[in-house]
Amino acid sequence: MNRQAQAALLFLLGATVLHAGLTDLHLRYVKAGLRPLLLLSGAVLVVTAAATVWYEWRGTHRRREQDRDQDREDGHGHGHREPRVAWLLALPVLALILVAPPALGSYSATHTGTALQKPFGFPDLPAGDTLRLGVGEYAARAVYDDGRHLGDRTIRLTGFVALDRAGTPQLVRMSLSCCAADAQPVKIALTGEVPPVLRPDAWLEVSGTYTPRRTKDPVNGGPVPYFEVTAAQPVPVPRDPYDEVWNG
């Protein structure tokens, strides 16, 4: 692949990374905190492509003179055509722009054990009648703090639906340490006023209270707390479908 083609692919890749970083597309691949690094990487790739074009342009006249001298010595020209198949390298980059992959869902959750880990501590919760928590925070407080800070307060959680091997409905959120490649589920089993028909991968906002009931994840034996549902309603897929690992 010649320098012009290399520069074109570098520019395309850099523009794609910038596009992902400037939109919500990057949230399908990495956690939100890595957005500045994505933007910096995209800018570096674009600048590198521009520099490649500049240096190639500067050397064009010299190469042409060398080619003419060689043609006069050999008595015939030498055509150097680059293999067109090399441009297939651009297809994955174009696919990244045109096709945004869905976030990991119920299939990954039911085939991967819960990633719930004991946090470093339990900060005080905000005051108020209704408490909105992430799935990971509720699960950690329910299992490792025995719900002491939750009490009888009304709690709201948002996640997608998964059904375990026994058909028990679960509310799940995939947690990221860095990127989607290391995403692992944190699961909460639902009981109480659960809707009679639940579709896997549908997103729900549930309201309810803490319950000390627990079960074990059939995949890895990890703890899965229950949540006593008093109300549930479908919600759109959130802007950021992943949760960062909660460590207190």
Q: What is the pLDDT of residues 39-73, one digit of tens each?
A: 898 888 888 888 887 877 776 656 666 666 565 55
pLDDT for res 58 = 72
* Cβ(45)–Cβ(13) below 8 Å: yes
Per the CB < 8 A criterion, the answer to whether 136 and 173 are in contact is yes
pLDDT tens for residues 76-105? 545 455 556 556 666 666 666 666 667 788
Residue keyed to tokens 């005080």: 124
Q: How confident is the model at residue 2 (pLDDT cuts 50, 70, 90)?
A: low
Q: What pLDDT is stored for residue 181 in this prediction? A: 73
**Residue whose structure tokens are 């409905």:** 169
Cβ atoms within 10 A of the Cβ of 67, count? 13
Which has the closest alpha carbon to 148: 156, 159, 140? 140
92/143 Cα distance (integer angstroms): 43
Give the C-alpha separation, 106 to 120, whole Å. Answer: 28
Q: Give the residue range(s) of CATH 2.40.50.140 domains in the chain.
A: 106-244
Question: Residue 4: enclosing H or E segment and its boundaries?
Answer: helix 3-22
pLDDT in tens, 142-197: 999 999 989 889 999 999 999 988 889 999 999 887 777 778 999 999 999 999 88
Q: From CA 110, how far away is CA 101, in angstroms rounded?
A: 19
Give the mean pLDDT of the chain. 83
Residue 212 token pair? 């000390």
CATH superfamily of 106-244: Nucleic acid-binding proteins (2.40.50.140)
Q: Which amino acid is at 158?
A: T
CB of 212 within 8 A of CB of 146? Answer: yes
